[in-house]
Amino acid sequence: MNLNVDVVNSAPTNSAALKNASAAGEYLTFLLGSEEYGLEILKVQEIRGYDAVTQIANTPSFIKGVVNLRGKIVPIVDMRIKFKFRI
């Protein structure tokens, strides 16, 4: 699975954007299907590569399994399946 991410520096370009200062800043953007999403860069803790996933029996199809992240068990969720995007 490939995940392409970009960091975008957004600066207000018109008077409406200048009034909404929270719209300015840096964002981590990614594609999910044909839709583009973004997160404020300060909300992103880290970007990691894809590790080996331990599968768990009797879980929904969108739960791919879990990984051990610095001693914590973290679920891996396939958002395309969860939100019913076509692959």
Q: Locate CATH 2.40.50.180 in the chain.
A: 48-87
Return all residues near 67 (Cβ < 8 A) that are at least 6 apart. Answer: 51, 52, 53, 54, 73, 74, 76
The pLDDT, as a whole number, for residue 69 is 87
C-alpha 80, offset from chain centre: 11
Helix (H) or strand (E) holding 66: strand 63-69
**pLDDT tens-place values along the chain, 87 residues long:** 444 554 555 544 444 543 454 567 899 998 877 888 899 999 998 888 777 899 999 999 999 999 998 899 999 998 888 888 776
Q: Under CATH, to which class is 48-87 assigned?
A: mainly beta
